[in-house]
Amino acid sequence: MVNELSGKVAVVTGGASGIGRGIVEKFASEGAAVMIADVDAERGEAVAAGLGANACFQQTDVSQPDQVDALVSLAVRRFRGLDIMVNNAGISGAMHRSFLDDDLADFQRIMAVNVLGVMVGTRDAARHMAAAGGGSIINLTSIGGIQAGGGVMTYRASKAAVIQFTKSAAIELAQYDIRVNCIAPGNIPTPLLASSAKNMTAEARAVHQGDTRDHAGRPAAAA
């Protein structure tokens, strides 16, 4: 169907590359006005420029609640509404040969981006949608949050948290005609897929080959 989203306004975090960029381009092709958010300003500006007047970019680190609030407010002001919020931004973590070797040094950052960022994005979008008659919120998780396995334990835990949060938010926000759903991609060849294993030896990567196929998303930088 052509222009299925005509007249709709969407925000997509992590929209400068990977899955996020694909979502942005598809939404735009279906007629939506799209606010692109990412920490990568150069890529984000380029994507927005390529899509024309119905797309714009806002540099945003979703681990910072004030920046997410500003993002949602800007979308509402610029496009006079908000119908769709896609909390796609996410990062992976360093992959270790064994969980016993994991120093958990990246725990706070991963949780701040992958969990707090999704929660704040959902809340701030829902505040507007509740007053405007409803909307749709889509949270990107991962097959790694569903299937147990070794490697990148913090990443897996963060994605599992997104699934439970999404289910809970869907129940609470239904009274405002806000739909909240999540998508759990499997093996999609984006930059994030290799980012967690880039510092590992070939032997260590072989140990966790099945686990790296579970990751999906965008480059290992918060957006």
Residues 119-140: what's their mean pLDDT?
98
The answer to whether 176 is a known catalytic residue is no
Using one digit for the tens of pLDDT, what is the confidence trace for 78-98? 999 999 999 999 999 888 889
Measured distance CA(49)–CA(33) in Å, rounded: 13
Measure Cα distances from 106 to 102, 149, 210 in Å: 10, 19, 22
Q: 119-133, 136-150, 205-219: lowest mean pLDDT where?
A: 205-219
Measured distance CA(58)–CA(35) in Å, rounded: 7
In this structure, what DSSP letter does residue 84 have? E
- pLDDT recorded at residue 96: 86
Q: Which of 213, 97, 86, 96 is nearest to 141 (CA)?
A: 86
- pLDDT recorded at residue 142: 95
Q: Which of 143, 126, 115 is nearest to 180 (CA)?
A: 126
User: 16 with 36: CB under 8 angstroms?
Assistant: yes
Which residues are CB-contacts of 150 (< 8 A; sequence separation ≥ 6)? Answer: 98, 99, 207, 208, 211
* CATH number for region 9-212: 3.40.50.720
- pLDDT recorded at residue 82: 98
Task: Tell me the HSE value of 206 on the side-chain side, using a 13 A CA sphere.
Answer: 3
Residue 222 has pLDDT above 60, yes or no: no
- pLDDT recorded at residue 203: 43
- pLDDT recorded at residue 191: 58
Domain residue extents for the chain: 9-212
CB-based burial of residue 136 (10 Å sphere; 0-12 exposed, 13-18 middle, 19+ buried)? middle
162, amino acid identity: V
Active-site choice (57, 79, 155, 165):
155
- pLDDT recorded at residue 80: 95
User: The tokens 């500003």 sit on which residue?
Assistant: 70
- pLDDT recorded at residue 206: 43
| pTM of structure | 0.86
Using one digit for the tens of pLDDT, what is the confidence trace for 188-221? 766 555 555 555 544 444 434 433 333 333 333 3
Band of the pLDDT at 162, cuts 50, 70, 90? very high
Residues 66-86: what's their mean pLDDT?
98
Residue 168 has pLDDT above 60, yes or no: yes
- pLDDT recorded at residue 88: 98
Residue 10 has pLDDT above 50, yes or no: yes
- Tell me what the pLDDT averaged over the chain comes to: 88
- pLDDT recorded at residue 190: 63
